[in-house]
Structure 1
Amino acid sequence: MTEAATRSAARRETGAIDRGDRARSGVDRWFALYPALALAALLPVGAVTPLFPVEVGVATFALGTLVVGMAHGAVDHLVPLRAATDVSLRRSIAVVSVAYAVLGGAVVAAFFLAPVAAFVGFIALTWLHWGQGDVAALVVAGVDHLPTSAERWLSLVVRGGLPMGVPLLAHPDEYRLVAEWIVGLFVVDSAAAVDPVFVPETRLAVGAFMVAATALSVGLGYWRVRSGASQRGWLRDVGEVAALWAWFLLAAPVFAVGVYFALWHALRHVGRLVLVDERAATAIRDGDVPGALRQFARDAAPLTLGGFLIVGAVGLSVPAGVAAPGDLLGVSLVAIAAMTLPHVVVVAWLDRKQGVWRPGAAG
């Protein structure tokens, strides 16, 4: 290769890196940073929601799911195609479809056979997945105070535990009510069925665990800053964790999770998917956020509708039927659980492909 050709290739590579950096910066800003600031601004609203009827939270959850929550996993069938160079469209769709059918069907069967265990498993799975999503968002943001897989796993435990564990500490009665709604779709005496899960010792253990895990994660991050890591990234991480602690301590659980699902978790995942879609990533890089969202919406529309059909199918199949807003929320959560397990598998594959859990990975 001639010297001129070498310089030309180097310029092309540098340009590609610059374009990639601009796309990641745009995604971080529009899909993570601004929504986090919006959630912090909503803290006064969240603080008064325990005074409202729980139906307000149910309506908020339904609206958030309708607007963006259901759509955020509706492009899973295209993830292998876009994130790998050796996967065809047919293979991408086939593998993901089989995963959804087999794993989703197993989750629904588990609720019929052992609803309390299935509920606890759903909480644990969501804890894992929402932490998984936040760690990936921190990697996209380029923070460097989480250089090891162990520190990233600790961050996962904290980030996923905030929406799943803190409401149990702050608002156990409404948390239990949701559990009774879900379990009550399958058993007659749901209050007695969930009793073993909601003993005071469980609440105290979860609260103590979350406080300790948060302190350890924040402390390790500060130690990394003292060792040369960027203080800005660490402060961003600490600020988000503080906002989430406040949100889930103050807001009523159903309302809090509904807003978080749509405004925080789902949007961060949509942003991540934008980066693996060349057309949407180009739009973000050029400052065309509406164009990127339109591209995502077109890709997600068919399976978003499919997700609501799954909710309908679960509603028709549960023994107790659907007669109240709580029943509708319970049915929606069972359907979401069925879609969450295969979704987690797809996201875990994407994590592995992008090196999220490799020490020093930069996304």
Structure 2
Amino acid sequence: MNRGGGLLIGPASAPAPATTLTPPILVMLLAASVAGTALLPPGPQILTALLVIIALGVPHGALDGELAREALRPGFGRIWFLVFSTPYLLLAGLVLISWQVAPTATLVAFFAASVWHFGSEETSSPSTVEILARGGLPIGMAVLAHPVATASLFATISHTTMAQPPAWMWFGSLAWLGYAGLWAGRCAAAGTGNRLILPGVLACVFLALPPLTAFAIYFVCIHAPAHTRAVITDRMRGRRVHDVRSAVLLSLPVTALTLILGAALWPLYSGPPDQRLLSLTIQGLAALTLPHMLFEAWLTRRVRIPRPGHLAPR
């Protein structure tokens, strides 16, 4: 049980300290609750999945504000948030514009970035095969298990016509399947088959549930906790984030700002409420993914390269 009393689990390949874990029963209860929404009619089902993603998934990215405070306040003082947020929001805005100008290209780029982002967050392994196998699962399984439903979601998100997944999406999903098989074979040969348990369970979730519901379970039960755990255990970047409770509290300001910006963008989207919220949420996540990944890369490089008068971390 962690000190914050919240939900946090680590990736199978990198066990977390006991102080950052909660009983797996809480994870299963949350997953079961979200899975139960698959029984709702399509419109409420989509709305519920999206609200779960927004309420329980968005705050993990909002921790970027706290990490920026730690990194930038010593050098920029009171204007640290302006220094952080200006390029962050400009990049996000460019992605939102790209959805309108080149929706298919933006969707392809979003998929590629998401695969790498998901995979690298869930494992400390430098193996490209493992990163692609883990990171591609939420998209690859959705396409292979529910092609028509998944294509419908992506068509709504990108405002394009897509009765079936296009060739590039099939190619990417089959390529993921190859990487997943290769990684599974390596794990079996190395006697580390236990690393396949969590991905195997997740694959079953995507087989059994509608794609957006399955993605909501993945996003709030695996991806967001993996990122939060990494922040909690990294004393070089988030010194005030020491448990789930502090992570939630410190993410609130940027989470609130994100919701306000989302509400401001709502009038720019049209259609039924479920389709409108789907486009806004996923396009918004895509817009935030680019600056989030670049910010993470900058932080990692900053920690690895010692500043004058500082020792490099071992």
Instruction: Give the TM-score, by structure 1 length.
Output: 0.68
Alignment-mate amino acid for residue 217 of structure 1: W
Partner of 1:284: none
What is the CA-CA distance between 1:83 and the residue it aligns to? 6.9
Is it true that 1:57 corresponds to 2:45 in the alignment? yes
1:28-177 mapped onto 2 (5 Å cutoff) = 29-30=21-22, 34=24, 38=28, 42=32, 46=35, 49=38, 52-82=40-70, 93-135=81-123, 139=124, 146=125, 149=126, 151=127, 153-177=128-152
1:251-270 mapped onto 2 (5 Å cutoff) = 251-270=209-228
Give, in whole Å, the separation in 2 of the partners of 1:35 and 1:155. Answer: 27
What is the CA-CA distance between 1:96 and the residue it aligns to? 2.8
1:281-300 mapped onto 2 (5 Å cutoff) = 281=242, 292-300=243-251
Tell which has more relative contact order, 1 or 2 (C-alpha 8 A, sep 6+). Answer: 1
What is the CA-CA distance between 1:235 and the residue it aligns to? 3.5
What is the CA-CA distance between 1:259 and the residue it aligns to? 1.7
Partner of 1:214: 180
Q: Structure 1 residues 58 and 35, CA, compared in 2 at 3 Å: closer, same or farther?
A: farther
Q: Structure 1 residues 209 and 330, CA, compared in 2 at 3 Å: closer, same or farther?
A: same
Q: Secondary structure at the match of 1:198?
A: coil
Is it true that 1:324 corresponds to 2:312 in the alignment? no
Partner of 1:14: none
Give, in whole Å, the separation in 2 of the partners of 1:203 and 1:112. Answer: 20
Which of 179, 195, 200 pairs up with 1:237? Answer: 195
The CA deviation string for residues 241-291 of structure 1, in whole angstroms up to 9 with x for no partner, is 21122122221101111121112111221222222444543xxxxxxxxxx
What is the CA-CA distance between 1:301 and the residue it aligns to? 0.9
With 34-43 and 261-270 compared, the bigger mean Cα shift is at 34-43
What is the CA-CA distance between 1:347 and the residue it aligns to? 2.4
Q: Structure 1 residues 40 and 57, CA, compared in 2 at 3 Å: closer, same or farther?
A: same
Partner of 2:311: none
What is the CA-CA distance between 1:130 and the residue it aligns to? 1.2
Give, in whole Å, the separation in 1 of the partners of 2:28 and 2:19. Answer: 16
Over alpha carbons, which structure has the higher Rg?
1
Give, in whole Å, the separation in 2 of the partners of 1:256 and 1:103. Answer: 29
Q: Is the 1:60–1:258 contact (alpha carbons within 8 Å) kept by the matching residues of 2?
A: no
Which of 174, 178, 203 pairs up with 2:153? Answer: 178
Is it true that 1:272 corresponds to 2:239 in the alignment? no
Which of 260, 268, 290 pairs up with 1:341? Answer: 290
Is it true that 1:310 corresponds to 2:261 in the alignment? yes
Partner of 1:249: 207
Q: Is the 1:80–1:87 contact (alpha carbons within 8 Å) kept by the matching residues of 2?
A: no
Q: Is the 2:46–2:213 contact (alpha carbons within 8 Å) kept by the matching residues of 1?
A: yes
Give, in whole Å, the separation in 2 of the partners of 1:219 and 1:91. Answer: 51
Gaps of 5+ in 2: 1-14, 305-313
Q: Structure 1 residues 258 and 101, CA, compared in 2 at 3 Å: closer, same or farther?
A: same
What is the CA-CA distance between 1:354 and the residue it aligns to? 6.6
Give, in whole Å, the separation in 1 of the partners of 2:203 and 2:257. Answer: 34
Q: Is the 2:65–2:251 contact (alpha carbons within 8 Å) kept by the matching residues of 1?
A: no
What is the CA-CA distance between 1:76 and the residue it aligns to? 0.4
Gaps of 5+ in 1: 1-22, 140-145, 185-189, 226-230, 282-291, 356-362
Q: Secondary structure at the match of 2:272?
A: coil
Q: Structure 1 residues 202 and 120, CA, compared in 2 at 3 Å: closer, same or farther?
A: closer
Give, in whole Å, the separation in 1 of the partners of 2:20 and 2:200. Answer: 19
Give, in whole Å, the separation in 2 of the partners of 1:353 and 1:84. Answer: 11
Q: Is the 2:150–2:165 contact (alpha carbons within 8 Å) kept by the matching residues of 1?
A: no
Q: Is the 2:121–2:226 contact (alpha carbons within 8 Å) kept by the matching residues of 1?
A: yes
Q: How many residues were matched structurally?
A: 289
What is the CA-CA distance between 1:77 and the residue it aligns to? 2.3
1:22-33 mapped onto 2 (5 Å cutoff) = 24-26=16-18, 29-30=21-22
The CA deviation string for residues 35-78 of structure 1, in whole angstroms up to 9 with x for no partner, is 896289749x85994x6533343233233224321111112022
Q: Structure 1 residues 353 and 217, CA, compared in 2 at 3 Å: closer, same or farther?
A: farther
**Identical residues among aligned pairs (%):** 24
| CA RMSD, 1 decimal | 3.4
Q: Structure 1 residues 339 and 239, CA, compared in 2 at 3 Å: closer, same or farther?
A: same
Give, in whole Å, the separation in 2 of the partners of 1:205 and 1:27. Answer: 42
Q: Structure 1 residues 26 and 60, CA, compared in 2 at 3 Å: closer, same or farther?
A: farther
Partner of 1:19: none
Partner of 1:18: none
> Which structure's residues are more often helix, by fraction?
1
